Chain A
Amino acid sequence: EDQVTQSPEALRLQEGESSSLNCSYTVSGLRGLFWYRQDPGKGPEFLFTLYSAGEEKEKERLKATLTKKESFLHITAPKPEDSATYLCAVRNTGGFKTIFGAGTRLFVKA
Protein backbone atom coordinates (compact mmCIF):
# COMPACT_ATOMS: atom_id res chain seq x y z
CA GLU A 1 0.00 0.00 0.00
CA ASP A 2 1.29 3.45 -0.91
CA GLN A 3 2.21 5.52 2.13
CA VAL A 4 3.69 8.93 2.90
CA THR A 5 5.11 9.96 6.29
CA GLN A 6 6.29 13.47 7.01
CA SER A 7 8.52 14.61 9.85
CA PRO A 8 8.66 16.51 12.03
CA GLU A 9 4.98 17.31 12.65
CA ALA A 10 5.94 20.85 13.60
CA LEU A 11 9.15 22.85 13.31
CA ARG A 12 9.95 26.17 14.94
CA LEU A 13 12.84 28.19 13.51
CA GLN A 14 14.34 31.58 14.06
CA GLU A 15 14.55 33.82 11.02
CA GLY A 16 17.70 32.87 9.09
CA GLU A 17 18.01 29.42 10.71
CA SER A 18 18.19 26.88 7.86
CA SER A 19 16.64 23.42 8.23
CA SER A 20 15.06 20.50 6.35
CA LEU A 21 11.68 18.80 6.25
CA ASN A 22 11.50 15.07 5.57
CA CYS A 23 9.05 13.05 3.49
CA SER A 24 9.44 9.26 3.56
CA TYR A 25 7.41 7.31 1.06
CA THR A 26 6.50 3.80 0.02
CA VAL A 27 5.07 3.38 -3.45
CA SER A 28 4.88 0.50 -5.90
CA GLY A 29 6.22 2.62 -8.75
CA LEU A 30 6.78 6.36 -8.53
CA ARG A 31 5.12 8.54 -11.15
CA GLY A 32 5.86 11.72 -9.22
CA LEU A 33 6.47 13.22 -5.78
CA PHE A 34 4.85 16.58 -5.09
CA TRP A 35 5.46 19.34 -2.55
CA TYR A 36 2.71 21.83 -1.68
CA ARG A 37 2.50 24.80 0.65
CA GLN A 38 -0.73 25.45 2.56
CA ASP A 39 -1.54 28.66 4.41
CA PRO A 40 -4.23 28.65 7.13
CA GLY A 41 -7.74 28.68 5.69
CA LYS A 42 -6.55 28.20 2.11
CA GLY A 43 -6.08 25.39 -0.38
CA PRO A 44 -2.68 23.81 -1.03
CA GLU A 45 -0.42 25.68 -3.46
CA PHE A 46 1.90 23.71 -5.75
CA LEU A 47 5.65 24.07 -5.20
CA PHE A 48 7.55 21.24 -6.91
CA THR A 49 7.26 17.92 -8.72
CA LEU A 50 10.15 15.42 -8.63
CA TYR A 51 10.18 12.35 -10.87
CA SER A 52 13.35 10.34 -10.26
CA ALA A 53 16.01 9.77 -7.61
CA GLY A 54 18.73 12.38 -7.72
CA GLU A 55 16.49 15.10 -9.06
CA GLU A 56 16.58 18.52 -7.37
CA LYS A 57 14.46 21.65 -7.84
CA GLU A 58 14.78 25.12 -6.34
CA LYS A 59 12.52 28.09 -5.84
CA GLU A 60 13.72 31.10 -3.86
CA ARG A 61 14.69 29.81 -0.39
CA LEU A 62 13.32 26.30 -1.01
CA LYS A 63 15.11 23.31 -2.50
CA ALA A 64 13.54 19.88 -2.92
CA THR A 65 15.56 16.69 -3.36
CA LEU A 66 14.56 13.08 -4.01
CA THR A 67 16.01 9.65 -3.23
CA LYS A 68 14.44 6.23 -3.74
CA LYS A 69 12.91 6.30 -0.27
CA GLU A 70 12.53 9.92 0.77
CA SER A 71 12.43 13.55 -0.22
CA PHE A 72 13.73 16.58 1.62
CA LEU A 73 12.55 20.15 1.48
CA HIS A 74 15.49 22.33 2.45
CA ILE A 75 14.73 25.85 3.65
CA THR A 76 17.67 28.24 3.53
CA ALA A 77 17.63 31.39 5.68
CA PRO A 78 13.85 31.28 6.22
CA LYS A 79 11.73 34.37 6.73
CA PRO A 80 8.50 34.73 8.75
CA GLU A 81 6.50 34.64 5.50
CA ASP A 82 7.70 31.06 4.96
CA SER A 83 5.53 30.02 7.90
CA ALA A 84 2.95 27.53 6.57
CA THR A 85 2.15 23.83 6.43
CA TYR A 86 4.19 21.94 3.86
CA LEU A 87 2.56 18.87 2.31
CA CYS A 88 4.25 16.00 0.49
CA ALA A 89 2.34 13.66 -1.85
CA VAL A 90 3.07 10.78 -4.22
CA ARG A 91 1.36 9.28 -7.22
CA ASN A 92 2.19 5.80 -8.44
CA THR A 93 2.53 4.63 -12.00
CA GLY A 94 -0.42 2.28 -11.77
CA GLY A 95 -3.27 4.68 -11.16
CA PHE A 96 -4.68 8.14 -10.83
CA LYS A 97 -4.66 8.53 -7.06
CA THR A 98 -2.41 10.93 -5.15
CA ILE A 99 -1.54 10.04 -1.54
CA PHE A 100 -0.73 12.89 0.84
CA GLY A 101 1.26 12.98 4.04
CA ALA A 102 -0.09 14.72 7.14
CA GLY A 103 2.18 17.72 6.62
CA THR A 104 4.81 19.66 8.57
CA ARG A 105 3.77 22.91 10.20
CA LEU A 106 6.62 25.41 9.95
CA PHE A 107 6.81 28.46 12.20
CA VAL A 108 9.51 31.06 11.53
CA LYS A 109 9.97 33.72 14.18
CA ALA A 110 11.46 37.13 13.41
Chain B
Amino acid sequence: NAGVTQTPKFQVLKTGQSMTLQCAQDMNHEYMSWYRQDPGMGLRLIHYSVGAGITDQGEVPNGYNVSRSTTEDFPLRLLSAAPSQTSVYFCASSYSKLGGARDTQYFGPGTRLTVL
Protein backbone atom coordinates (compact mmCIF):
# COMPACT_ATOMS: atom_id res chain seq x y z
CA ASN B 1 0.00 0.00 0.00
CA ALA B 2 1.20 3.49 -0.84
CA GLY B 3 -0.89 4.90 2.04
CA VAL B 4 -1.84 8.56 1.67
CA THR B 5 -0.20 10.38 -1.23
CA GLN B 6 -0.19 14.10 -1.95
CA THR B 7 0.87 16.10 -4.99
CA PRO B 8 2.60 18.41 -5.55
CA LYS B 9 5.20 18.51 -2.74
CA PHE B 10 5.95 22.19 -3.33
CA GLN B 11 4.02 24.94 -5.11
CA VAL B 12 4.45 28.67 -5.58
CA LEU B 13 1.44 30.72 -6.67
CA LYS B 14 0.76 34.36 -7.36
CA THR B 15 -2.08 36.12 -5.59
CA GLY B 16 -5.35 35.43 -7.38
CA GLN B 17 -4.29 32.20 -9.05
CA SER B 18 -6.23 29.01 -8.49
CA MET B 19 -4.98 25.48 -8.08
CA THR B 20 -5.89 22.02 -6.83
CA LEU B 21 -3.94 20.03 -4.25
CA GLN B 22 -4.32 16.33 -4.88
CA CYS B 23 -4.81 13.65 -2.21
CA ALA B 24 -5.31 9.94 -2.71
CA GLN B 25 -5.42 6.90 -0.43
CA ASP B 26 -5.40 3.22 -1.30
CA MET B 27 -6.58 1.84 2.04
CA ASN B 28 -10.33 2.00 1.31
CA HIS B 29 -10.70 4.54 4.10
CA GLU B 30 -14.10 6.11 4.64
CA TYR B 31 -13.01 9.33 6.32
CA MET B 32 -10.67 11.89 4.72
CA SER B 33 -9.68 15.37 5.81
CA TRP B 34 -7.53 18.38 4.93
CA TYR B 35 -5.48 20.36 7.45
CA ARG B 36 -3.20 23.33 7.25
CA GLN B 37 -0.21 23.71 9.56
CA ASP B 38 1.20 27.10 10.44
CA PRO B 39 4.05 27.85 12.87
CA GLY B 40 2.86 27.93 16.47
CA MET B 41 -0.74 27.07 15.58
CA GLY B 42 -0.76 23.33 15.13
CA LEU B 43 -2.95 21.58 12.60
CA ARG B 44 -6.26 23.23 11.73
CA LEU B 45 -9.04 21.37 9.96
CA ILE B 46 -10.14 22.88 6.64
CA HIS B 47 -12.69 20.39 5.27
CA TYR B 48 -13.49 16.75 5.81
CA SER B 49 -15.48 13.96 4.17
CA VAL B 50 -17.19 10.99 5.79
CA GLY B 51 -17.69 9.17 2.50
CA ALA B 52 -18.00 9.59 -1.26
CA GLY B 53 -20.35 12.46 -2.05
CA ILE B 54 -20.37 13.81 1.53
CA THR B 55 -18.23 16.75 2.67
CA ASP B 56 -18.39 19.29 5.48
CA GLN B 57 -16.52 22.34 6.75
CA GLY B 58 -13.87 22.35 9.43
CA GLU B 59 -12.42 25.25 11.45
CA VAL B 60 -10.96 27.30 8.57
CA PRO B 61 -12.90 26.57 5.34
CA ASN B 62 -12.95 30.03 3.74
CA GLY B 63 -11.16 30.20 0.39
CA TYR B 64 -11.14 26.44 -0.11
CA ASN B 65 -13.44 23.97 -1.87
CA VAL B 66 -13.54 20.20 -1.78
CA SER B 67 -15.42 17.37 -3.43
CA ARG B 68 -15.34 13.60 -2.99
CA SER B 69 -16.49 11.72 -6.07
CA THR B 70 -14.62 8.50 -5.22
CA THR B 71 -13.51 6.79 -2.00
CA GLU B 72 -9.86 7.16 -3.00
CA ASP B 73 -9.55 10.83 -3.92
CA PHE B 74 -10.17 14.06 -1.99
CA PRO B 75 -8.82 17.12 -3.84
CA LEU B 76 -8.58 20.57 -2.22
CA ARG B 77 -9.17 23.58 -4.46
CA LEU B 78 -7.90 27.08 -3.78
CA LEU B 79 -10.27 29.40 -5.61
CA SER B 80 -8.23 32.63 -5.60
CA ALA B 81 -4.95 32.28 -3.71
CA ALA B 82 -4.03 34.84 -1.07
CA PRO B 83 -0.75 35.29 0.88
CA SER B 84 -2.64 34.20 4.04
CA GLN B 85 -2.95 30.75 2.48
CA THR B 86 0.81 30.26 2.56
CA SER B 87 1.12 27.13 4.68
CA VAL B 88 1.85 23.43 4.72
CA TYR B 89 -1.19 21.35 3.79
CA PHE B 90 -1.75 17.80 5.01
CA CYS B 91 -4.31 15.28 3.88
CA ALA B 92 -5.33 12.49 6.25
CA SER B 93 -7.57 9.43 6.14
CA SER B 94 -9.01 6.91 8.59
CA TYR B 95 -10.90 3.69 8.19
CA SER B 96 -14.09 4.69 9.87
CA LYS B 97 -15.98 7.77 10.95
CA LEU B 98 -17.58 5.81 13.75
CA GLY B 99 -14.80 5.98 16.29
CA GLY B 100 -12.73 3.51 18.22
CA ALA B 101 -9.35 2.31 16.98
CA ARG B 102 -10.54 2.76 13.43
CA ASP B 103 -10.57 6.53 13.57
CA THR B 104 -6.80 6.74 13.85
CA GLN B 105 -5.79 9.15 11.10
CA TYR B 106 -2.95 8.44 8.66
CA PHE B 107 -1.31 11.51 7.17
CA GLY B 108 0.24 12.22 3.80
CA PRO B 109 3.68 13.85 3.41
CA GLY B 110 2.26 17.35 2.90
CA THR B 111 2.28 20.09 0.27
CA ARG B 112 4.25 23.25 1.01
CA LEU B 113 2.44 26.18 -0.61
CA THR B 114 3.75 29.71 -0.97
CA VAL B 115 1.51 32.51 -2.25
CA LEU B 116 3.33 35.64 -3.39
- Give A contacts to B, CB under 8 Å: 4, 31-32, 34, 36, 41-46, 49, 87, 89, 91, 93, 96-103
Minimum CB–CB distance for B77 against chain A, Å: 20
Docked-complex contact B110 and A43, CB < 8 angstroms: yes
* Complex CA–CA separation, A91 to B97 (angstroms): 11
Contacts of A42 in B (CB 8 A): 109-110
Taking A43-B107, A45-B107, A91-B103 as contacts, is the C-beta distance between A97 and B90 under 8 angstroms? no
Q: How far is the CB of B94 from chain A (nearest CB, A)?
A: 9
- What are 6 A-B contacts with C-beta separation under 8 Å? A31-B103, A34-B104, A91-B99, A97-B59, A98-B33, A103-B42
Is the CB–CB distance between A96 and B107 below 8 Å? no
How extensive is the interface on chain B, given as a class? 20 to 34
List residues of B whose CB falls within 8 A of some A CB. Answer: 4, 31, 33, 35, 40-45, 48, 50, 56, 58-59, 90, 92, 97, 99-101, 103-110
Question: Given contacts A87-B43, A100-B43, A102-B40, is CB(A49)–CB(B110) below 8 Å?
Answer: no
> In the complex, are the beta carbons of A96 and B50 less than 8 A apart?
yes
17 further interface pairs, Cβ-Cβ under 8 Å (given A46-B106, A93-B99): A32-B100, A32-B103, A41-B110, A43-B90, A43-B110, A87-B43, A89-B43, A96-B48, A96-B56, A96-B97, A97-B45, A99-B45, A99-B59, A100-B42, A101-B42, A102-B40, A102-B41
